Every structure is written in C-alpha cells, then in structure tokens.
C-alpha cells in the first residue's frame, strides 16, 4: 500500500510518519513539496505518485488569525481540500482528512457529555466554519474517505514545526518563572499526536467503514487541570492561577466545551496516561527549550 502524508513536517504529520506500519510505502510531503490551494501543484505532485491513500494534515489553524484572514482560512481549509478531493476521485484514492473539535459550538456543556460522531456540528468561529466546510466537501463529493476529528494536540514536534504547543508553553513559562494564569472554564480532550497517528493507521489498515471518526485520548479536562498535570508529570513546582475565559480577550470566540468521544469503536488510552508518557519521553529536550 502506498500512502502520501501532506504536512509531513507538522506536529501530527511527523508522528504519522513515525508510526508508519512496516508494510506501508510512505511518501511524506512538506509545504515546499506541495501547495494544496494550487490545483496544478496538487495534480502534478500526486498523480505522479499514484498513492492508494492520501492523509491530509495541512491546515490554517491559528484560530484568532483566521478571524482576520477568512479568505486564507477558506482557501486552505476548504478550497485546498476540494483540490485533494478531486485528485482522489481521479485516481480512485482514499482521502484521510484531519478535522477538529472546533466544528462544535460547545452548547453540550449543559449535558457535560462529550461530542460524538452523531452530534451535529455548528462551528462558531472562522477556523471552525472553514474546517467544517472542508468536511462537507469531503463527505459530499467523495465516497472513499475518513474524516478524523482530533483536538488540543501536543506532540514532540510542536505545531507548524516551530516547537509550539500548550505543554511546551506551560513548561517554558514555568522555567522562566513567568506567572501562569490558565482558564478553568473551557473543557477539551487533550490528545497526544503519536496516539492519534497510531489510530489513524489502524483505521486505514483495518479497512474500517468510511466516514467520520473522533480520535482523541479518553476523557477531558479544563485547560487549568491540563496545565496542573503537565507541571506535576514534569516534576515542576510552580503555582498556577485559575482564571475565567472572560479575562482573556481573544479575536475568535471559542467553544467552552469541546470534549470528543467515539461511538464507533475508537478507544485511545486516557489523556493523563498519554501525557505522562509524552513528558517522560521528551523531558531532556524540554529543559533545553
Ligand atoms: N494543533 C491542534 O491543537 C489541533 C486541534 C484540532 C485539530 N487540528 C487539526 O490537525 C491537523 C494538524 O495540526 P498540526 O498541529 O499538526 O498542524 P501543523 O503542525 O501546523 O502542521 C500542518 C502542516 O501543514 C503544512 N501546510 C500548511 N498549509 C499548507 C498548504 N497550503 N499546502 C501544503 N501544506 C501546508 C504546514 O507547513 P508550514 O508550517 O511550512 O506552512 C505544516 O507542516 C490540522 O488539520 C488541524 O486543523 C489541530
């Protein structure tokens, strides 16, 4: 089986490459290899490779910037996805498209139940709306697809290969002695990219039915609880102040509740267990940050 990963140098992309099963022939494409918003680039690069499966991790996901640059958000997160859908159709390839918990509005906070694949999206910011547009394009134009919704990712590479994710940010700030103030009224499912990557490979290799899947570590917490666990597992003694989201003015509205779970048989380990392993594995690197 030949698989192409788009966004191979990104946070999730790198772990998809790292978790590659032995029998798979993999080609990793970085942004300098392919521009998904450019149909000519998409067709010339991908038709020359003729993959059985294309995994798309590329996105414009800086939530606040998306509010200022909606054209760019829709260009990458929806038009780019349409280009990939078309090339998949032309080669009869499977598309695995990565989406987000931000397709939901957070209204399920009243039930305190995670969103499942059966819940109807209703995104409340440009990032989420553009990602949902991408999902609809995949779902309504293609038969052979997996839409994989992930959430609150952290991995060794950090987002955009620039070392950024919440775990690194908290530890960097603690190390610099900066005050830590973290919201305790926004809830989500923190997810280790290596765990998500392994599950994505399982979906493909086990030939699970096509459709939409929630792939996050089990459970949920507030960003404050997440930060507390990060410090605990890293053995760092620093105090954190819990604050309300209204104390931070942000361009984009965010869902206050976006935990995900699967009712389609996807079961990853609890988020605490994954976080502990991640911090143990990168601890020496962390202190060089
Ligand atoms: N990070 C999170 O917490 C989170 C949460 C929920 C869902 N997601 C979704 O998960 C996916 C992966 O996220 P991530 O954290 O791994 O992101 P990432 O580290 O930013 O990786 C994305 C990769 O895609 C490349 N890329 C961006 N625009 C492209 C384009 N137009 N054409 C080709 N390549 C392009 C980027 O290259 P350059 O950096 O060189 O541009 C980067 O290597 C995204 O679909 C995102 O929407 C992420």
Q: How far is the CA of 241 from the centre of ligand 1 (A)?
A: 30
Per-residue pLDDT tens over the stretch 228-241 = 999 999 999 999 99
Query: With the CA atoms of 184, 147, 85 and 152 taken in that order, what torsion angle do they form, in degrees rounded to the nearest 10?
Result: 20
Is 239 a member of any domain? Answer: no
**Model confidence at 286, in pLDDT bands (50, 70, 90)?**
low
Of all residues in the chain, the percent with pLDDT exceeding 90 is 93
pLDDT of res. 163: 63
CATH number at residue 48: 3.40.50.720
pLDDT tens-digit profile of 78-113? 999 999 999 999 999 999 999 999 999 999 999 999
Q: Which pLDDT score is estimated for 162?
A: 60
In a domain, 124, yes or no: yes
Q: Using CA atoms in the order 120, 148, 75, 169, what is the torsion angle rounded to 10 degrees?
A: 100
Flag whether 229 is in a domain.
Answer: no
**How many domains does the structure of the chain reveal?**
1
pLDDT at 288 > cutoff 90? no
Domain-embedded: residue 57: yes
The per-residue pLDDT for range 180-199, each reduced to its tens digit, is: 999 999 999 999 999 999 99
Largest pairwise CA distance in the chain: 56
Predicted confidence (pLDDT) at residue 271 exceeds the cutoff of 60: yes
- Give the model confidence (pLDDT) of 32-88 as tens digits: 999 999 999 999 999 999 999 999 999 999 999 999 999 999 999 999 999 999 999
Pocket test for ligand 1, best of 4, 8, 10 (most atoms within 8 A of CB): 10
Q: Is the pLDDT of residue 18 over 90?
A: yes
Q: Give me the chain's average pLDDT, please.
A: 95
Residue at 278 is within a domain: yes
As for ligand 1, residues whose beta carbon falls within 6 Å of it are 6-7, 9-13, 31, 34-37, 57-59, 61, 76, 80, 98, 100-101, 131, 150-153, 159-161
Assess if residue 108 is contained within a domain: yes
Asked whether residue 154 is assigned to any structural domain, the reply reads yes
Flag whether pLDDT at 282 surpasses 80: no
Structural domain for 91, as ranges: 2-222+250-286
Distance CA 102, CA 117 (A): 13
With the most atoms of ligand 1 within 8 angstroms of its CB, the residue from 58, 66, 71, 167 to mutate is: 58
pLDDT at 12: 97
- Residue 234 counted as domain residue: no
- CB under 8 Å to 84, separation ≥6 — which residues? 6, 36, 42, 46, 54, 56, 95, 97
């Amino acid at each position: 089986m030949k698989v192409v990963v788009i966004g191979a140098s990104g946070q999730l992309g790198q772990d998809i490459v790292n978790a590659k099963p032995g029998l798979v022939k993999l080609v990793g494409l970085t942004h300098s290899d392919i521009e998904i918003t450019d149909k000519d680039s998409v067709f010339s690069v991908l038709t020359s490779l003729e993959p059985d499966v294309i995994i798309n991790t590329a996105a414009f996901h800086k939530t606040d910037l998306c509010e200022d640059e909606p054209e760019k958000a829709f260009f990458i997160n929806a038009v780019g996805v349409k280009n990939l859908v078309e090339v998949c159709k032309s080669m009869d390839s499977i598309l695995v498209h990565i989406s987000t918990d931000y397709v939901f509005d957070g209204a399920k906070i009243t039930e305190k139940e995670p969103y499942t694949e059966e819940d109807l999206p209703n995104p409340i910011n440009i990032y989420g709306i553009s990602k949902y547009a991408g999902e609809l394009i995949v779902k309504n134009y293609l038969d052979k697809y997996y839409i994989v919704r992930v959430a609150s990712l952290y991995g060794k590479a950090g987002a955009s290969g620039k070392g950024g994710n919440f775990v690194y940010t908290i530890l960097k700030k603690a190390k610099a002695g900066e005050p830590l103030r973290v919201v305790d009224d926004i809830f989500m499912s923190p997810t280790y990219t290596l765990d998500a990557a392994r599950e994505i490979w399982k979906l493909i290799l086990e030939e699970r039915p096509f459709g939409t899947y929630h792939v996050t570590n089990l459970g949920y917490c507030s960003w404050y609880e997440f930060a507390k666990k990060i410090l605990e597992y890293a053995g760092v003694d620093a105090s954190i102040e819990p604050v309300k989201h209204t104390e931070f003015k942000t361009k984009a509205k965010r869902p206050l509740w976006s935990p995900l779970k699967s009712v389609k048989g996807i079961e990853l380990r609890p988020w605490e267990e994954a976080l502990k392993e991640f911090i143990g594995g990168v601890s020496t690197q962390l202190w060089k940050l």
